[in-house]
Structure 1
């Protein structure tokens, strides 16, 4: 029996074989979506560029060249994407800026996702006044646009990439809480949950051991789809000078620095803008593909 036949068998001999077979079927379904594969390629390219930026950058992203001869040079073989007003190579700055973008995306996902899952599953499982209090708190956060609320938190915490990440994470969890609550309401009275409860399992174990795993796939899809918004929020804070501080090569700050030259030297602001566009599009494509293969309602 080949490996493919072993994975696709309808009668798995072990739990491990069943899990691997389900994962392989999910991958096959995902691979049939061309846009999802493009999105996966873009995200993997972002990760690779972020990891290899110090080795593949042709110039120093912080220190520029001669201001008399290398300032605001148009794209050429020497500087593929041109130089900015400080004679710094734009390609090198974009490559190193991908590290900041990946850092923001990863940390926001790591911080916001558990908070949203905890709030949503707790509210959905207990119901009553616990549900009312937690959901009204969630509604308060949802009542404000994400960027405006992030601006308020950064203004209170102070400018900087660390505070920007905290502010974005604080404003990103409410949609995950809403989704987790909706999923929990549909499964909290399921037969297997009642059986676990009758065995004497306490509520915390039921929530984290059985409810959260069932909600996780839907939340992962939502997190992936939200990555574009997180990137845009981080770029917006950088554009306003509240995110990564100069001379860090953050894409939003690069656009802000190049807006003065947009008419005569368009590449200074356009190139980091294209980077934001491509990465955001990649996460959207990836999220759409994951939604198609992980949504239980879409599976036949």
Structure 2
């Protein structure tokens, strides 16, 4: 049976025309057309696509860690101490306790992503709520909330995170709390700026005249307009959060041994850096690659959501 390739192309062309229509006939067509244009714009950036590919691979590695890892990441085999890269059975060598570095890096991706995601889950809603409320109500509400935000922004984030982590004690939960306390002000400032752009728009006044409550206006009309900027900011912040997590782990204030946390792995390898450079270098490279991937992805999303960029 012969297949007519021209018929297949004809079925694709109307769909493309439907998505790229300048006069959408329904909200659904407008919605999918907008996202199709954004996807095309994103796909034209090779660096952003490379960042997305790295992060997809990282997510798959984290999900499939039990099947990808070649050894138990916590198993100590003192007879295999400081095996070099490429040694039999240990692709990336072993550390001072004979633990397989490849397996520890694979399982460490889980811990790093979980901590970073938990921080975003906490700081994005808090920052978004404070910024939107401050920008919408203005007056003394704006003054009080923004002065609190300014106080938090006055301290370097890493220094403040170290202070809170040291005060609360080491551990993953305390590290998440410490980083979250220092990360929300940027989102509050961003949400406030976006809210001030739209709070006096005609459709906001129309919603008020129709009897919409303040909560409905904030949730239904203003917050969705802030989300694109917040998503871009969150993607770019992921690199900084990962570096902060690694910094806390390096100083012993994050995940505790024998957890395969990348920052702690770098710290444990500094004492043998001259003789066994791979112990600290391999997790350091993992931190570098993931941070760079988030930055590349964030740059691409910033271009996609920028209304000044044409298709």
Q: Normalised by the size of structure 2, how large is the TM-score?
A: 0.93
Between structure 1 and structure 2, the one with the greater Rg is 2
Structure 1 position 240, deviation (Å): 0.7
- The corresponding residue for 2:84 is 74
Tell me, in whole angstroms, the C-alpha distance in 2 between the residues paired with 1:298 and 1:112. 29
1:253 aligns with 2:246: no
The structure-2 alpha-carbon separation of the partners of 1:297 and 1:127, relative to structure 1 and needing over 3 Å to count, comes to farther
Structure 2 gap ranges (5+) = 1-10
Q: Is the 8 A contact 1:236 1:252 kept in 2?
A: yes
Deviates more, 1:157-166 or 1:54-63: 157-166
Tell me, in whole angstroms, the C-alpha distance in 2 between the residues paired with 1:236 and 1:299. 40
Q: Is the 8 A contact 1:157 1:163 kept in 2?
A: yes
1:47 aligns with 2:97: no
1:287 aligns with 2:298: yes
- The corresponding residue for 2:23 is 11
Q: Deviations over 1:34-65 (max 9, x none)?
A: 01001101111111110001111000000122
Q: Is the 8 A contact 1:46 1:102 kept in 2?
A: no
Matches within 5 A, 1:225-240: 225-240=236-251
Tell me, in whole angstroms, the C-alpha distance in 2 between the residues paired with 1:204 and 1:19. 25
Moved over 3 A (4+): 297-300
Match 1:34 to one of 34, 43, 46: 46
Tell me, in whole angstroms, the C-alpha distance in 2 between the residues paired with 1:283 and 1:31. 16
Structure 1 position 25, deviation (Å): 0.8
Structure 1 gap ranges (5+) = none
Tell me, in whole angstroms, the C-alpha distance in 2 between the residues paired with 1:299 and 1:218. 18
Structure 1 position 299, deviation (Å): 4.6
- The corresponding residue for 2:5 is none
Q: Is the 8 A contact 1:224 1:283 kept in 2?
A: yes
Aligned length: 298
Tell me, in whole angstroms, the C-alpha distance in 2 between the residues paired with 1:152 and 1:295. 37
Matches within 5 A, 1:112-123: 112-123=123-134
Tell me, in whole angstroms, the C-alpha distance in 2 between the residues paired with 1:297 and 1:124. 24
